Amino acid sequence: MTTFMPSFRSLDELQAIQLDGLKWTVDHAYSGSEIYRKKLKDVGYTPGSIKSLDDLQSLPFTTSSDLAEGYPFPLLSVPLKDVVRLHASSGTTGKRKVLCYTQKDIDDWTHMFARCYEMADLTREDRVQICVGYGVWTAGAGFQLGCERFGALAVPAGPGNLEMQIEFLMDFESTVLCCTASMGLLLAEEVERRNVRHLIKLEKMVFGSERSSEAMRSRIRALLNLKDMFDIPGMTELYGPGTGLECRAHDGIHYWADYYILEIVDPETLQPVADGEIGEMVVTTLSKEAVPLIRYRTRDLSAAKPGVCPCGNLLPRHDRILGRSDDMFIVRAVNIYPGQIDSVLSGLAGIGSEYQVVLQRSEGKDIMNLRVEAELGLEPSSFPEKAALVRESVKRKILVTPEVEIVPYGSLPRSERKTKRIIDMRQE
Ligand code: ZN
C-alpha cells in the first residue's frame, strides 16, 4: 500500500529536512513579502544567514495581528497569479483570517491529511462519511481531498441533518465518521434512540474543530461500541485540519514535523519551556509557499511529549490542546490554564464538568475561589468531602491551594458559545 508517512529514519535525518525547509522558508518570505522583509530586517536577518536550527531562536514572532493588517491577503509571499485558492477561518475573535494557497500548498495539505487517515489505520476499503462544514472553511475541503488521495470512499455529507446522516450510514455502510465531538455524541444518541446500531457498520470517528472530552468519548464508545476515536488538530493559518493525529496508542498527538517546526514557549517571556511543560504552541512552516509562517504564535497551549511513542512511529508528539494562552491567569506567581483545571476535575468521581474561578486579593494575597458543580444526583451531604478532594487534587497538580465550594448540578451559568469561567476581581 502507498504510504504517506515520511521517509526519515532518525531524528538527525528529520532535523536535516527541517533545516533545509527553514532556510528555504525564511529566504522565500524575505524575498516575497514586504511585511516579512521588514520584520526580518528589524532583527538583522540577511538572506542565507540561517546555518542551524538554533538560528530559529533569532527570528521574529508572527501573530494574528500580522494577519489582520494585510487583510484580505496577509503575508502573501507569492504573486497572486500563483494563488489557486483561499480559505477563511470562522473568526471567533475579531475579523476573520484569510489565507491563500498555491497548488503545491494544496497538494502538501492533501498529503498531510491522507497521512492522518493512514495514522488512524484506515484502509482503501473504508467509507468515510464527512459531516463537517463545506465552503470557505478549511474543514470540508481538507477531509475530502485527503480521503480521496488516501484512496478510501468519501461520502461528502456535510454537517447537521441527523435524519440524512443515519440514512447514509445505513445505505452506504460508512465505516468512518468525521464530525465535531458534539455531533458525534448527538448521532450516537440518535442511533441508540432508533435502535439501529445493528444496521450500521460504523467503526471509527474522527473529531475536528473541537477537542473531545474523555466524558464525551466514553459516552459515544458505550453507545456505539466503536473500535477507535481520534482528535484531529489543525488551524486555518497552518493549512487547516490534518497537521497531526493521535495514533492508536492514544498517548499524545503525532505532528507532521517534516512540514512544520513546533516550539513550545512561555507565553509571558516567549522563552522555550522545558520538555513536558505547558506553553504556547509556535509554528514555523517548512514548505508553505503562498503564506509561509515564521514563528507564528497560535495561542494554543500544549506540551511536548518526550520520547518515542509506543506505536513506534518516529514523528514527534505533543499533548492534547489544553486551551488558549489568552485564558491564562496568574495566582501567586503560578501560571494557570483553564485546561489544567478541566483535566484535574475530569479525573474526580462525583464532580461535574462545570466550574467557575473567582480571583480576589485580600491583604496583598491572591485568593482563588473555585466553585464546582456536583455530578447530577450527588447528595448535598457529601459536598464537603468532595470539596476537600478537589482542593487536594488542585493543590497537588497545579501547586496552588484554592478555596473550594461544591454547588448543586445545574447551578453555574452555561453558554452555547464559550462559557466564561474565570472572573478576576483583583485590583491592579
Ligand atoms: Zn504513536
Dump pLDDT digits (tens) for 405-428.
Answer: 999 988 887 655 556 788 888 865
Which residue matches cell numbers 439501529? 196
Distance CA 251, CA 248 (A): 8
Residue 119 Cα, ligand 1 centroid: separation in angstroms?
A: 8
CATH 3.30.300.30 in the chain: give the residue spans: 328-424
Domain with residues 328-424, CATH architecture: 2-Layer Sandwich (3.30)
Q: Which three cell numbers stand for residue 130?
A: 464527512
What torsion do the CA atoms of 283, 284, 287, 291 make, to the nearest 10 degrees? Answer: 90
pLDDT at 202: 97
Adjacent-strand bridge partners of 245 = 254
Residue 377 Cα, ligand 1 centroid: separation in angstroms?
A: 39
Distance CA 168, CA 162 (A): 10
Q: Which three cell numbers stand for residue 256?
A: 507532521
Residue 289 Cα, ligand 1 centroid: separation in angstroms?
A: 29
Residue 231 Cα, ligand 1 centroid: separation in angstroms?
A: 13
Residue 6 Cα, ligand 1 centroid: separation in angstroms?
A: 14
Residue 308 Cα, ligand 1 centroid: separation in angstroms?
A: 8
**Amino acid found at 27:** D
CB 242 within 8 A of CB 215: no
Residue 169 Cα, ligand 1 centroid: separation in angstroms?
A: 29
Residue 230's H or E segment, with its range, is strand 228-232
Residue 174 Cα, ligand 1 centroid: separation in angstroms?
A: 25
Q: How far is CA 92 from CA 76, 158, 356, 401, in A?
A: 22, 21, 22, 33
Q: Which three cell numbers stand for residue 245?
A: 493525529
pLDDT at 212: 67
**Amino acid found at 72:** P
- If one counts every other C-beta atom within 10 angstroms of the C-beta of residue 357, the result is 19
Residue 246 Cα, ligand 1 centroid: separation in angstroms?
A: 7
Cis peptide before 316 (omega within 30 of 0): no
pLDDT at 145: 97
pTM: 0.84
Sequence-separated (6 or more) residues with CB below 8 Å from residue 65: none
Distance CA 394, CA 331 (A): 13
Q: Which three cell numbers stand for residue 413?
A: 451559568
Residue 257 Cα, ligand 1 centroid: separation in angstroms?
A: 14
Adjacent-strand bridge partners of 304 = 318
Residue 256 Cα, ligand 1 centroid: separation in angstroms?
A: 12
**Within the chain, which residues score under 50 in pLDDT?**
none
Residue 285 Cα, ligand 1 centroid: separation in angstroms?
A: 22
Distance CA 395, CA 397 (A): 6
pLDDT at 93: 55
The sign of the CA dihedral 186, 188, 191, 193 is negative
* Nearest C-alpha neighbor of 405 from the set 363, 361, 367, 364: 367
Residue 176 Cα, ligand 1 centroid: separation in angstroms?
A: 20
Residue 229 Cα, ligand 1 centroid: separation in angstroms?
A: 14
Residue 280 Cα, ligand 1 centroid: separation in angstroms?
A: 22
Q: Which three cell numbers stand for residue 329?
A: 491567569
Residue 158 Cα, ligand 1 centroid: separation in angstroms?
A: 29
Residue 252 Cα, ligand 1 centroid: separation in angstroms?
A: 8
The alpha-helical segments, DSSP class H, found in 315-381 are 338-346
Residue 357 Cα, ligand 1 centroid: separation in angstroms?
A: 35
One DSSP character per residue, 43-108 reads TT--TT---SGGGGGGSPPB-HHHHHHTTTSTT--S-GGG--EEEE---SSSSPPEEEE-HHHHHH
CATH class belonging to 1-324: alpha beta
| 98-101/334-336 β-pairing | unpaired
Distance CA 386, CA 382 (A): 6
Residue 244 Cα, ligand 1 centroid: separation in angstroms?
A: 11
E-assigned strand segments in 346-420: 351-362, 365-374, 403-407
Residue 309 Cα, ligand 1 centroid: separation in angstroms?
A: 5
Distance CA 413, CA 137 (A): 30
CATH 3.40.50.12780 in the chain: give the residue spans: 1-324
pLDDT at 428: 53
Residue 117 Cα, ligand 1 centroid: separation in angstroms?
A: 14
Residue 259 Cα, ligand 1 centroid: separation in angstroms?
A: 18
